[in-house]
Structure formats: C-alpha cells, structure tokens
Amino acid sequence: MKDRSNFSNKLGFVLAAAGSAVGLGNIWRFPYLAAKYGGGTFLLIYLILAVTFGFTLMIAEIALGRKTGISAIGAFKSLDRRFGFLGFLASLVPVIIFPYYSVIGGWVIKYFAVFVSGGVQDAAGDTYFTDFISGTMQPIGWFLLFLGLTAIVVLCGVEKGIEKVSKVMMPILVVLTIIIAVYGLTLEGAMEGLVYYIQPHMADVSAKTILAAMGQLFYSMSLAMGIMITYGSYMKKENHLESSVRQIELFDTGIAFLAGLMIIPAVFAFSGGDRSALSAGPGLMFMTLPKVFASMKFGGVIGTIFFVLVFFAALTSAISLMETIVSVFMDKFGWTRRFTGILVAILAAVMGIPSSLGFGSLSFISWMGMSVLDIMDFVSNSVLMPIVAFFTCVFVGFIIKPKAIADEVKITDGKFKAEKMFNVVIKWVAPIFLVLILTSSIASALGIFTL
Ligand code: PHE
C-alpha cells in the first residue's frame, strides 16, 4: 500500500478532530437544547454522557481507523466481510450531510459579509433572513463559495491543508468565543440569563432530556459517520489515543458550554427575560441574534466576530465531512487526491442546490412539514446515525471484541485507563440507548408518540 498521509503530531490530530467536532451543532444547537431541557440538569446529563458514552464510541472509531489504516468502508470490511454494509452506511452519512451543511455554511459567510460591511441593522430586519434564503442565485452563490473554500483545504491534503487550517482556526475560535461570552455577560439583564442557563430546572427534565442530550452528543462529536475512523487512520501509532480522545471531548464540550454563555445571557438581556426567543431553533442564529447584536453597543463588531467564529467552526467541520468522502473514494479506487477532491466538490455542488432552493423555488417539496434540507438532516441524524452507531457497538462488542480495540489503545504505553467502563458501555449500555433514540426519533417524526 502507498504511504498513507498522516497528521504530523498529536496536537495536529487533536485539533483537526476537535475542528470536526466543534461546529454549528455546538454553537446554536447546544445552547438552545440546554435552555429547552432543564438548564443545569441538561448540562450535567450531557457531561456524564460525554465521558461515558461519547468517550466509548469515539475511542472505538478512532481505534478502528488507526488499526486498519483505512477509511470506513474498508475498515469494517477488512475486519469482517459481513460488515461491509456498515462502512457503506457510515460513509453515506457525510455524503448526505456535506451538501446541506455547506448550504448553511454559505449563509454564515453571507452574514459575515453583511456584518463586516456595516449592515447590522439590515440583518436585524424581520424578513431579512427569509428573503435571503428564499432567493435563488444569492444563497447558491454563497454556498458554492463555502464549498470551494472547503475543497481547497482538502485538496491541500491532510498535513498541509487540514492540520494547518485547524491549528490556526481552532485556537482563534476559542479566544473569540471567550471575548463574546465575557462581553455578553456585562450586558444589563444578562445575569438572569446566566442563572437560567446554569441552574437546574427539574420541571423541564424528562426521559426526553436524556435522549436529546444523547442525540446532540453524537452529532456534536461527529460520531457514526466514518469521520473519526478516517481521522484515526491518519493518526500515528506513537500518539496516545486515550488522552487524545479526552482532549477532543474537552474541547468540544468546552466550546458548547461557552457558546451557551455567549448566547443565552445576551438573548435574555435583549428580550427582557423572555426565554421563548431561545427556542427559535435554527432561526436563533440568523434571526434572533442579529436583532440582539443590532440592539447592543458595538453590535456591528461583536456580530462580525461572532460570524467569523461560526465560520471557522463550520469550515473545519465541513472539511472533515469532505475528507471522509474523498478518503473513501481514494481508498476504494486508488484515485489521486486532486481528481477525487474535484469530483466530490462537483457532486456536492449538484446535491446541495436542491437543499438551497428548498426554501425558495423548490419549497413545494416537503415531507411531513420538512423542507429538503430538513429531510436530509432527519434521514442522516435521526435515522442513519443511530443505526450506524448501534451496529458499530455490536461489531466491536461481539464480533471483533472490545479487546481488539483495547490492544490498539494500548500500543503507545500499554495503558487503557477506562478499559472496564469501555467494555460495559460498548456491549450493553450504548446499544440499548441507541435503540431507544432511534425508536423515539422515528416515532415522534411520524407523530406516533412523543416522549
Ligand atoms: N460535529 C459538528 C457540529 O457540532 C457537526 C458535524 C456533523 C460535523 C457532521 C461534521 C459532520 O456541528
């Protein structure tokens, strides 16, 4: 086999994986879920799940990648021929997500452009966002720009593209997030929001809280879509796997928590404590926040910084999605990076256009009230990902056995501190929870029951 590309060192690997993990999910979805499902209680549940369940699945995926040295399709197949389908399903997830994620990435660049050119007040207009996304050429143009930027990084390769960009963007992202969070906390009325975010409200906690936290965890850690397998295949054997996973988790959870600090108190200050503003879902980032920025002193600058950081978060995630697809094709067909990268970019451009137009000229296409983009999101996140994660647990727990993973983890210094927990979670706890998540998300989408 040809020499595989590698991340140059542990820091490069950790930052690239954290770059994948930290994305739009951390910045708008996490704060909004925390606000909706019990504040402090949600935070606590999320944290517990992250260090048990998230840790276990991430270790398993990275170890699978590093052990086999190939991306998802080949990784599963090379260990057991019957599981080739699992690699295929896992690789299908980024194929579905990448195009529409880039559509949203395009919206982020557009908002950055508006803020940096002094358009705070425009962006705060009531119909600004819907007017923009229901257009044709504008959103497609921004989408293609975002896609093009992602493609350039991927074409530059693992070490010279992905690693370099992550090493620059991730530290900047942390600093910018802290700046906005600190500024937000100084606004009048922000403290009430802070208390709301951190204090447990038992009344909002139910079985659904755990499932919501679990679903978010998956998406946020970029699990069950072959990404961590691919990145693991670029990790050197001398880099410590267990501590890398701890650091990636710390990064991802830390940024999610800070995003809550950045958004919830500011929205509270703006709305005078009316928390319904937080439950706007996706509208939170593109409709509510611009209004919040427009109402604050230095709102133009803060808004610009905010969209820069969201752009960094989205770009590093999109890179991991694209790299996973490119890597599957390169491994399977032996094509060059350049050819594969260009091909994948063209395919993603074609596939993303319907998602973009789904808010405008194609808005008549809808299924159970969802637009094209929402349908893609539902199929990948709520259906395919739990299925892939479930079979990954079965595969590791009962086919290759947890010891195969433990041996890979121990290569560096013979230690795997959380091995006992890993064994129990991968064989029993995780599969049971995954079946619950899958049933509940399908049942609630079909309107059969909602927890
Ligand atoms: N983990 C990213 C986030 O939190 C989302 C993502 C999903 C990234 C899929 C890559 C692939 O937003």
What pLDDT digit, counting tens, does each position of 211-241 carry? 889 889 989 999 999 999 999 999 999 999 9
Q: How far apart are alpha carbons 225 and 79 in whole angstroms? A: 18
Which of 24, 319, 323 has the most ligand 1 atoms within 8 A of CB, as the residue to mutate? 24
> What is the CB-side half-sphere exposure of residue 176 using CA atoms within 13 A?
20
Note the pLDDT tens digit of each residue in 70-101: 999 999 999 999 999 999 999 999 999 999 99
Ligand 1 near 21 CB (within 6 A): yes
This prediction has a pTM of: 0.95
19 phi, psi to nearest 5 deg: -60, -35
Residue 328 contacts residue 73 (beta carbons within 8 Å): yes
Atom of ligand 1 nearest to the CA of 256: 4
Other CB atoms within a 10 A radius of the CB of residue 164 amount to: 18
Residue 16 contacts residue 317 (beta carbons within 8 Å): no
Lowest mean pLDDT among 179-183, 203-207, 263-267: 203-207
Distance of CA 221 from the midpoint of ligand 1 (Å)? 7
Q: What is the mean pLDDT of the chain?
A: 93
Atom of ligand 1 nearest to the CA of 320: 10
Best CA proximity match to 223, nearest among 79, 99, 396: 396
DSSP type of residue 280: G
| % of residues, the chain, pLDDT over 90 | 80
Tell me what pLDDT residue 421 has.
Answer: 98
> Which amino acid is present at 74?
G
Ligand 1 near 150 CB (within 6 A): no
Q: How far apart are alpha carbons 414 and 84 in whole angstroms? A: 30
Q: For the residues 274-301, what does the mean pLDDT come to?
A: 87
Residue 41 contacts residue 205 (beta carbons within 8 Å): yes
> Going from the N-terminus, what domains does the chain have, and what CATH number goes with each?
10-445 (1.10.4160)
Looking at ligand 1, which residue's alpha carbon is closest to its atom 10?
A: 317
> Which helix (H) or strand (E) element contains residue 107?
helix 84-116
Note the pLDDT tens digit of each residue in 398-421: 999 999 999 999 999 999 999 999
Residue 233 contacts residue 68 (beta carbons within 8 Å): yes
Cβ neighbours of residue 50 closer than 8 Å, sequence gap 6 or more? 217, 221, 249, 252, 253
